[in-house]
Structure 1
């Protein structure tokens, strides 16, 4: 970051593919650039259903958020927000509960440039945006945007959608330690909604996708069902437990059967802290 006329100038790194902008491309968004589209095209060449997989993740977020809001959750912390794509998490939550409060977090500076779309709260509720990296959870939890918006004396719904597979362990169980740090800060009644890419169903294609992301400067760490389950240790899984993202309380069970597990390629679950 540099300064121009006394104002900070953010390097958007448009010449480098970013996972949030690749995801935006798969969702049919317009906030992506040549480097992102080039990487996305490479992924589609080995995994033609990548856009379907992205949609499956997004629809899980919608269903999980709606279910939690209906269950009484009024505070949401969404880490790894991505490019705004309506309906965003706060639109879903505030449609159920207009007084819902939401904090969004992402490490892509271009998400910050579009954060206005994430800050259009209902008068009764509130939204905030924080540019931060999930691998530094202490910084997220102590940030003014978080502390001034959320009351950690009351339950908080933590959302980690299609994020933690971009946190490699490096032999130190890093991803699980990050999630445990976040979980430990949340009071009883809080929840964790999460999806995570897996190579359990299409190992060859997923390995080639990992190589594509690595060439673009982003590491991908797929995890097995057992490794995914560990993110919820000590918390109570809500029905139907750990499943593929399209099978978690589908709005239309018939439509869910049209997506194969290999296409979805991601586990999903929601759990509550006792």
Structure 2
């Protein structure tokens, strides 16, 4: 009884397999918390980069307050929930125990946040400025920038599935909830563009399929850069490869 009162964790089953399963599930849960935090912070930081660049160059606001709320609470919110249910990567027990005092927001997450935020923010700003330079109205430029940011979210959520494994090594059907959530997030935004009253509130209007494809191509830039970052870390950064194996 004294041991139970002073212990941080009480094991009610002395079956070693149950203990191993518990360790694995705990690591999956912790990893998923990190994935959701990374997605939220990196997309939020990207919006900050976009606005800072617009202020420095004395351009109009690239997105309105209601558009930011839409991005963070609706389209990204749908994906955040789905990402939280990401199954394990299958190698949780091959990873060394993390230091007890290690913060969730560690060095690798900081690197990934900074890199992805810069890519998303700079590309979105470049599109906004280019559209204005081409003679498009501010509202038209905002409409395309908003759609681009939604597409960035749709692409970036797949970058968030692993800090080290390539996107192409993940079966997209392994987390059907995430795949469905991403499709729903995009369809919700497209629906908003084609719904007159909601489109008026958001400042969103329909675009052609060719324009949508062009914006998707821009959004894929963050996947290319993050894949390159994973490759560089796996090949040249000491400590990324060769994890220890948990044994009995």
So what's the TM-score if we normalise by structure 2? Answer: 0.31
Rg bigger for which structure? 2
Higher strand share: 1
Higher relative contact order (CA 8 A, sep 6+): 2
So what's the TM-score if we normalise by structure 1? Answer: 0.29
Higher helix share: 2
